[in-house]
A = this chain, B = another copy of it.
Amino acid sequence: MIKVGIVGGTGYTGVELLRLLAQHPHAEVAVITSRSEAGVRVADLYPNLRGHYDGLAFSVPDSATLGACDVVFFATPHGVAHALAGELLETGTRLIDLSADFRLQDAEEWARWYGQPHGAPALLPEAVYGLPEVNREAIRQARLIAVPGCYPTATQLGFLPLLEAGLADPSRLIADCKSGVSGAGRGAKVGSLLCETSESLMAYAVKGHRHLPEIAQGLRRAAGGPVGLTFVPHLTPMIRGIHATLYATVADTAVDLQALYEKRYADEPFVDVMPAGSHPETRSVRGGNVCRIAVHRPQGGDLVVVLSVIDNLVKGASGQAIQNMNILFGFDERDGLSHAALMP
């Protein structure tokens, strides 16, 4: 059993870490911190956890306690991991950061999109982008892992086979993405109220969303060069789920895209290439760590449409974080993540 610490456990990615780790055969949560809820038992804040963590209460963050853990997850707003990572790494613990703090390799780009200076640029060179389908080997050796964002996970997994194979025109990529409201977090915002979001649908941040540079960075790696990406996120009236609808133009329409995708992900435990003609539903991954993908070429044209769905809180956050932990500690990559999605 490894000892796990969680910094900032009161949000949705925090409770999701707790839910998933409750079933993990080789990890147990030893510490969970929250300044605002210090002293409160986690099962009092999240009654779904009653019977699972009855002795565990939120505590004030403290380097000594966290440093005694084998691994520490950051489930915090951006900026917090910047402030604490350096000190914690010195204790020898491994860090898995669910926030955006170490996702962009370029500190200046980070500063532009997040409106504040990067707080730990010296750590960037060793930060590993925790997308196992791309970086599994690097993850095994990492001390500091940046878990990809939700939109970036669904979008990259959908585009990767096309770009790695050099099939798609990298200058004209479109990601039309639809997210459930939990992607906006547990903050008390008018815009996340049921009465503001239910029975409605809207695009947002068309001008530029913080996940845009992260996605572009990943697609550049896959394409081996610059990419042109238009990313339009939408807020949709459901709790969980991301549906990425991806558009790319291919020069060669003779390629068997279905075979390409199946081959690319043949050994991936958490990417499911669905049969040709499928339309994956977000509910088919609700609560599960899977990304389901279908690839289409409508009317036999040169425009490829890729459908990619994940649960934003699982494969798009906490589940992927645990998948990284499993790789890092040499566990079976499926440990704690093998349950079926909840449907209906």
Contact = CB atoms under 8 A, between A and B. Distances in A.
Contact of A47 (B19, B186, B199, B274): B274
Contact of A305 (B206, B247, B280): B206
Interface in A139-195: 172, 174, 176, 178, 181-182, 186-190, 192-195
A52 interface: yes
Interface stretch (A75-83, A228-236, A322-330): A228-236
Contact of A48 (B239, B298, B340): B340
A288 interface: yes
Number of chain copies forming the complex:
4
B201 A238 contact: yes
14 contacts: A12-B195, A15-B343, A48-B285, A178-B201, A186-B193, A196-B344, A198-B239, A199-B286, A200-B281, A203-B279, A231-B298, A234-B245, A237-B237, A286-B342
Closest 7 A-B residue pairs measured CB to CB? A200-B283, A48-B341, A48-B343, A47-B284, A195-B344, A202-B281, A194-B194
Interface of A: 12, 15, 18-19, 22-23, 46-52, 172, 174, 176, 178, 181-182, 186-190, 192-204, 206-208, 228, 230-232, 234, 236-241, 243, 245, 247, 249, 272, 274, 277, 279-288, 290, 292, 296, 298-299, 301, 303, 305, 307, 309, 313, 338-344
